[in-house]
Structures are given as C-alpha cells and as structure tokens.
Structure 1
Amino acid sequence: MSSEMCAVCGLPKELCICEEVAKEQQRIVIKVDTRKYKKEVTVIDGLNPSEINLQELTSYLKSKFACGGTIKDNVIELQGNHKSRMKEVLIKKGFLPEQIKI
C-alpha cells in the first residue's frame, strides 16, 4: 500500500482536503466585459491557481454553460453573459456564497 502523500496537508493523495480548504478561502468576482463587435464575455477573477485547478474548473463551466472559454492571466473568461446563473453553479461546485461577488 504505497500511496503518495500530499506535501501540504500530509494526507494520502486520495484523502487530500487541500482543494476543499482552498475553496473556502477564495474571493471570487464575477463580471461581464464587452469585447470587439459588442460581444459579451463573463469574467471570473480572484481564484488562486496554486490552490484551485483552473483548467478543470474552466472545462466544467464550459460544459455547464455550453460555451467557449479560456484562462488568461489566472482569470477565467467564458463567451456570453452567464452572470445570472454563475453564482449558483459555483456554489454547487463547492464555493461558499459569501465569497462570490457579482
């Protein structure tokens, strides 16, 4: 039974709680920007990439909202205006409602 240990919490990788604890410490800001040709982009800022897997979260949000998106400078950008539903989706993903500012 040789399982790798997490360097942060000291638990085996299967039982690691670092990402759940990190979710409780984030201060997320959701806003909508307008780009060229009046295209709207939902911007999710305030996530720490060393604690949260941004690639996994971006893939989840893109599939949930059926849109395109990317990560630029540790900020998630999704095509379209998803501001009204974003908070409830992030809460279901494990983030606290008090941390999310729209």
Structure 2
Amino acid sequence: MDKAQVIASVAGDLNATEQSVDEAITRATTLVQSMIGGRAAMNVSPVVGAEAQAKAMEAIAALAAARQAMVACHEELAKDHRRMGYGVYAQGLDKLPEGEKPKTIGEHRLRAV
C-alpha cells in the first residue's frame, strides 16, 4: 500500500467512526423519546422508568464525549496531515492501472464530522 492509499484508508475509517458515533447518539436520543412517549401514552407516573431514563441520558452524555474525542482526533490527524506535507491527496486510486500515478485535484482537508 502506498502513502496515498494509507491516508485514504485512515480517512475512510475516521469518517465511518464519526458516522457511527452520530448514529449511536441519534438512536439513544430516540430511545429516550420513546421512553417518555410510552410513559405518557400509558398514562403512567413520571417516577416509573425514571432510573432507566436517567441511565439512557448518561449514555447520551458519554456518546457526546466520544463524539468530542473523535472531533479532536480528526483535528489532530488533519494537523499531522499538513505537517507531513500531504496537503494534496489523490482521488480514484482503485481505478488506476498498476504502476500509474494518481492525479491530484486541489488541496483537500478532512472535514466530515
């Protein structure tokens, strides 16, 4: 694997991880919404399920911290990328014939969060 392929692989994994954390936050908040809506639909006291709901909200807070950590990771990787002189990266590596150098298209930075 050459440098451009390694960089593209890391960027892809970073993006997938960021999307996974965002999806987990979305699912957890949907769970809390469902718990509140279910309790209201059943006309049950707010005391019922309060502990479970609090635990779900703790999980959301932990996921928010994980998301912040991934954003910080992204920023650090972007700094390293620039420090190492890889401000320009290649696109379409999987479509090139063996031994042909990829064309570069402008300067791009990792930006999906």
What TM-score comes out, normalization by structure 1 length? 0.24
Higher helix share: 2
Q: Which protein has the larger Cα radius of gyration, Structure 1 or Structure 2?
A: 2
What TM-score comes out, normalization by structure 2 length? 0.23
